[in-house]
Structure 1
């Protein structure tokens, strides 16, 4: 038993010694690995710096050491280029009127409601005209009496009985009452408010039972004929647009396009938004309604010999705008002067002839004098 107790501590001591030796070896290897990594990083940095210096000094070295980048190409185009001003317009009507009361009284009926489409002559409202009706009844009674007296006096006059003055007085009284009756009947007709033409009720400004006076606004009424489009154009286009210029108009809500012309140009600049009004003729289209939104495309520039490129291929640096062109398998940076842009195409005023092959897909990965490999699509 004593021998066993002595042997166990010896085994423990031996195991501890081996463990210490193993840990020291691992630490040494870790330190050596870290040292080699640092040396490798230093060498890589030195290689990169030398390569960069050589690329600047020797273009042939740069070509040989650049990896070939896979790209697709696009063609610069030469031909007709058109630029349009795009603005939002609103359909309006020249028959946009405020309907007012022509007589006083209390509102008895308002069949018209906002947004309602009505035909010419349709009743919009009725005003109480009881006093006018009483006047008509009284005048009608007087008129009946005046007619009877005039007829008797006329028969007497034809028989040469009585004087001419009596005849003329009877005639004048009858005709005066006729005029008065016609005038009062006209007044009665004003108690019924009717649509002056076919159109739409925009707003109703009176309520049932309300007392109105002559001249009081009752309805805002918009006709469906004589429509036009009005839009605000930036003052920078003053002198560019003219009456008669062609206009492409689209109506997004009904998915319809038409071509028409500018019918009028505003003469005043709005100081609040620095724009002027443009009016565009609108032919009769069944689905187009007042206040409908439209998009106007007005041509303000054209060039039959323009060089154009896709707008997204134009990049910029401190020197200016440029594109990459492909020359003998090498990407070349070509500085350009851009003109107008429309429909994702940009006019190039200087820098390209129109027959260049441009770097398309991959244009952000290439640099000046990079080798490129054109993908076969």
Structure 2
């Protein structure tokens, strides 16, 4: 019994001992549990799958040659083609074959379509037959002329011996002269027949519609079976052209500048063009000419602006904004080159004119603030915070942090 009481007494909790521990012991236990949970979370998020593998890009120096001068005037316009043609046939006829489609590039003299040539071939055959007949008649007259010359020689010989009268000699001479005249007339008829054949051959060639210059077909107007005419008076069912051909190498910009500011624009002045479809793409341009006339209704003057670089993204009739720059002497233009570096836009978290990038150094990320000067296509111009050759991390930038260890893709 005493043993049982001793055991129960050992299990009894002393209230004084519990009060001596105080409330701080429970807090320390909770803190230890929080530390263990945080460590487990970090292990689950970062250590369980190992060091993340990321792609990288390299900052490169901004190319020289851009204009750093300020804009003196902005204007809107459209892309136009200086060389553009609605290709048609010289003859009125039925289209039997069309060999082009919209967007197709063609070369100079390439066949675009064919017109019904049955009548042209018949006219050519008729002209060739007339030429053959004229040549046969010419051969006959030549034979008659040669015979008349022989008869004249015989008559002259007999007249010298007083065997024939002078009247007979005159008759033989008249026959020769008549055949000579007839021969000349027949030769002229042969020449006329030959030219008629060439004309009919030209008509036959005109039934084949060819490209006057190299370019791209932008509009296809005619289909096989339709009537086509170079004139617009053929009626509702008559087309006036096979299609529209545009020389893409002749694309330029036409802008209307308010006549109050036309004094700010001069031929040869540098400019920057931005297509409405690609507002971040700066295209170097230059003023070609200022058209010396004003539009009375709009009080504007048309200015032609040429592209300094060609690109397939530039299409006719696109809207475009042009920023006319200050013209600089060559020495100043060489000195004022655009600064900064160009980096992939996916490597920058952009916020207005500033941004954040993660520079990779010794397989560790370094968070860095940068200043943005503009965008061009898929690249961002950074004017401070980076130097050419810096390696930047690509990916979900929100998951990166300063000092994070990473592995680089090969």
Aligned to 2:310: 285
Match for 2:193 among 157, 172, 177? 177
Q: Deviation per CA, 1:72-91: give whole Å up to 9, x if none.
A: xxxxxxxx973333334433
Q: Are 2:233 and 1:197 equivalent residues in the alignment?
A: no
Are 1:231 and 2:247 matched, yes or no?
Answer: no
- Tell me, yes or no, if the aligned pair for 1:247 and 1:262 is still in contact at 8 Å: no
Give the drift of 1:149: 2.7
- The verdict on how the C-alpha distance between 1:246 and 1:255 changes in structure 2, with shifts beyond 3 A counting, is closer
8 Å contact from structure 2 (residues 284, 309) kept in 1: no
Check conservation: 2:120, 2:204, Cα contact below 8 A: yes
Structure 2 counterpart of 1:85: 73
Aligned-partner SS, 2:125: helix
- Does residue 299 of structure 1 match 2:287? no
- Structure 1 residues 188 and 289, CA gap change in structure 2 (3 angstroms): farther
CA distance 1:265–1:138, change in 2 (3 Å): closer
Match of 2:137 in 1: 149
Q: Is the 8 A contact 1:263 1:281 kept in 2?
A: no
Could you say which residue in structure 2 is the equivalent of 1:166?
Answer: 182
Q: CA deviation at 1:298?
A: 0.1
Deviation for aligned residue 1:215? 2.1
Q: Does 1:137 align with 2:125?
A: yes
Match of 1:260 among 286, 290, 293: 286
Distance 1:284 1:151 in 2: 66
Separation in structure 2 between the aligned mates of residue 287 and residue 88 of structure 1, nearest angstrom:
21
> CA 1:124–1:247 in structure 2 vs 1: closer, same or farther (change >3 Å)?
same
Contact 2:270/2:326 (CA < 8 Å) preserved in 1? no
Q: Is the 8 A contact 1:111 1:125 kept in 2?
A: yes
| Structure 2 Cα separation of the partners of residues 297 and 229 of structure 1 | 12
How far residue 259 of structure 1 moved from its aligned partner, in angstroms, is 4.2
Sort the Cα spacing of 1:141 and 1:83 in 2 relative to 1 into closer, same or farther, 3 A. closer
Q: Is the 8 A contact 1:84 1:301 kept in 2?
A: no
CA distance in 1, matches of 2:268, 2:129: 63
The residue that corresponds to 2:111 in the other structure is 123
More strand by share: 1
1:102 counterpart (90, 96, 114): 90
Q: Determine which of 233, 236, 240 is the counterpart of 2:264.
A: 240
Query: After superposition, where does 1:330-369 map in structure 2 within 5 Å?
Result: none
Equivalents in 2 of 1:110, 1:267: separation in Å?
41
SS in 2 for 1:121: coil
Alignment partners' CA distance in 1, 2:107 and 2:313: 17
TM superposition score normalised by structure 2: 0.48
Q: Relative to structure 2, which stretch is displaced further, 220-229 or 248-257?
A: 248-257
Say if 2:83 and 2:246, in contact at 8 Å, map to a contact too: yes
1:109 and 1:126 in contact (8 A); partners too: yes
Select between 277-286 and 252-261 the one with higher mean Cα deviation.
252-261
Q: State how far apart, in whole Å, the 2-side matches of 1:208 and 1:257 are.
A: 42
Q: Give 1:186's match in structure 2, choosing from 196, 202, 220.
A: 202
For residues 293 and 84 of structure 2, the distance between their equivalents in structure 1, rounded to whole angstroms, comes to 22
Q: How far is 1:171 from its partner?
A: 0.5
- Structure 1: gaps spanning 5 or more residues: 1-79, 305-342, 345-377
Return the TM-score normalized by structure 1. 0.51
Structure 1 residue matching 2:302: 3-state secondary structure? strand
Shift of 1:301: 9.7
Equivalenced residue count is 225
Alignment of 1:213-228 (within 5 A): 213-216=229-232, 217-218=240-241, 219-228=243-252
C-alpha deviation, 1:239, in angstroms: 2.4
Following superposition, the deviation at residue 226 of structure 1 comes to 3.4
Q: Distance in 2 between the 1:301 and 1:95 partners? A: 29
Q: Secondary structure at the match of 2:293?
A: coil
